[in-house]
Amino acid sequence: MRSDRLKVISEGAPIAGRDRVVPALVLVTLLGVIVFELHSRFGHGDIDLYHRYAQAFWLGSPPLRSLPLEYPPLSIVAFSLTLLPPLPDYITVFALWMLGLLAVSFFAFRRFESRRAAEVFIVYCVVGGLSTLLGRFDLVPAVLTVAAYWAARRSRFDLAYLLIAAGTLMKLYPLFLLPIIMIEQWRQIGSGKLWAVPPRPLLRSLAIFTLVTVAGFAVARLLNPDGWLSAFTYNTLRPIQVESVPATLLWVGSWIGLPAWPDHSFHSFNLVGPLESPLGVLSTLGLVGGCLWIYWRQLTGHMSLAKALLCCVLVIMCTSRVFSPQYLIWVVPLVALVEGEYNPLWLALCVLTTLIYPFAYRDFQLYGLTTPDSYPVVFLGLIGARNALLLAATVLALLPRHGTQRRFVEIDEAARQVA
């Protein structure tokens, strides 16, 4: 018996040590990022913007009128963190808020998923978002999405819809995840016929989402009648951003003589050309078709709730005209949630994203307001390689795997029982 006890202790010791070492390394790395990256010359531009938006909203003349131009109205809550507490070093203040949110999310992963999934989550976040994790607010909607999943898994659908509504008012993209939550609720209720009248609990939860979302934009309209829909109009007018998948297709088209040239507008570096409009149409069709495919697969029991959320965010990222480096933060928590283990493909995606930003941007002096004459081939090549891996990851996630048909309903049920 004594030898068995020693064996258990010896097997558990490396795990316990790893549980301390990996979070400690992540913490030290992120503290270094705050000191050396976020306080560097080009490391805090977005935090500066958040701070200006918060000051204009709370301290403007008149106050409570100026809303963010390119973000939905609830984003002002995240931006206001730069003022809490009102210290001169608002860069560190905001970064520490995001670090605290990461820590809370890490322990939530340990509580609701597993130790390994929690470790994968924070490692992916740091490797893929070295400069953006604490310097952007994208971790907020990403965590809201994961929290909505946990709520739905525990059949707390009113809370799940509320969290998706908050995410929509924060960053817009969670709106595409709403049908996934609805399908999951419909499946759990077991309402029978596909085209039957929706059950009352589903209608109540949907009403919660609708009321919260409409109320959010209604308040924004009262505060700023001219700019309450600016998040939609701003993003509709944006050209193809250089890191997006459509931009990579533009670049590939230039190999056969189709012109493409750099552009700097809307606070981003872009790639434009004659193919821009056709690619925009194809991107929209890809977004709609991809999401409908995911909804149908989930509805027919061939895709789990977590997998559907992951696939939907991947489709959004692949078809978007804009792919800022911080967008990777939207998806890596869902990857950790679905896979629970390290995946070389996703590690490579994370590494390439950080090589692109901040390193390639800085090395090739792609900052400021100047439009370059051309983008370096190495820069576009790194983006192309990352986007190729992203497309591969999306296809692998979307395609059905042999032997997994109809098993996802049972998997979700088992997860709910454990939770």
Is residue 222 within 8 A of residue 351, CB to CB? The reply is no
pLDDT above 50: residue 2: no
Percent of the chain with pLDDT over 70: 90
Q: Which of 170-184, 197-211, 380-394 has the lowest mean pLDDT?
A: 197-211
Burial class (CB in 10 A: 0-12, 13-18, 19+), 335: buried
Coil vs helix vs strand at 264? strand
pLDDT above 50: residue 346: yes
d(CA 274, CA 261): 10
d(CA 324, CA 78): 18
Which has the higher per-residue pLDDT, 127 or 368? 127
pLDDT of residue 190: 77
Number of domains in the chain: 1
Q: Which helix (H) or strand (E) holds 205?
A: helix 200-223
pLDDT of residue 192: 56
pLDDT above 90: residue 195: no
Give the C-alpha distances (Å, rounded to integers) separating 19 from 15, 92, 100, 133: 6, 27, 18, 21
Is residue 307 within 8 A of residue 331, CB to CB? The reply is no
Is residue 337 within 8 A of residue 113, CB to CB? The reply is yes
- Residue 203 contacts by C-beta under 8 Å, 6 or more apart in sequence? none
Percent of the chain with pLDDT over 90: 85
d(CA 241, CA 272): 8
Domain hosting 335: range is: 2-418
d(CA 351, CA 36): 19
pLDDT 10s digits, 27-38: 999 999 999 999
What is the pTM for the complete model shown?
A: 0.92
- R_g (Cα) of the chain, nearest Å: 22
pLDDT of residue 14: 65
pLDDT above 70: residue 410: no
pLDDT above 50: residue 9: no
Q: Which of 41-55, 255-269, 396-410 has the lowest mean pLDDT?
A: 396-410
pLDDT above 70: residue 8: no
Q: Which helix (H) or strand (E) holds 91?
A: helix 90-112
- Residue 268 contacts by C-beta under 8 Å, 6 or more apart in sequence? 238, 241, 242, 322, 324
Q: Which helix (H) or strand (E) holds 270?
A: strand 268-272
pLDDT above 70: residue 51: yes
d(CA 119, CA 26): 10
pLDDT of residue 400: 81
pLDDT 10s digits, 83-131: 999 999 999 999 999 999 999 999 999 999 999 999 999 999 999 999 9
Which has the higher per-residue pLDDT, 158 or 406? 158
pLDDT of residue 412: 54
Residue 174 gets which letter from DSSP? G
pLDDT of residue 418: 46
Average of per-residue pLDDT across 208-224: 97
pLDDT of residue 369: 79
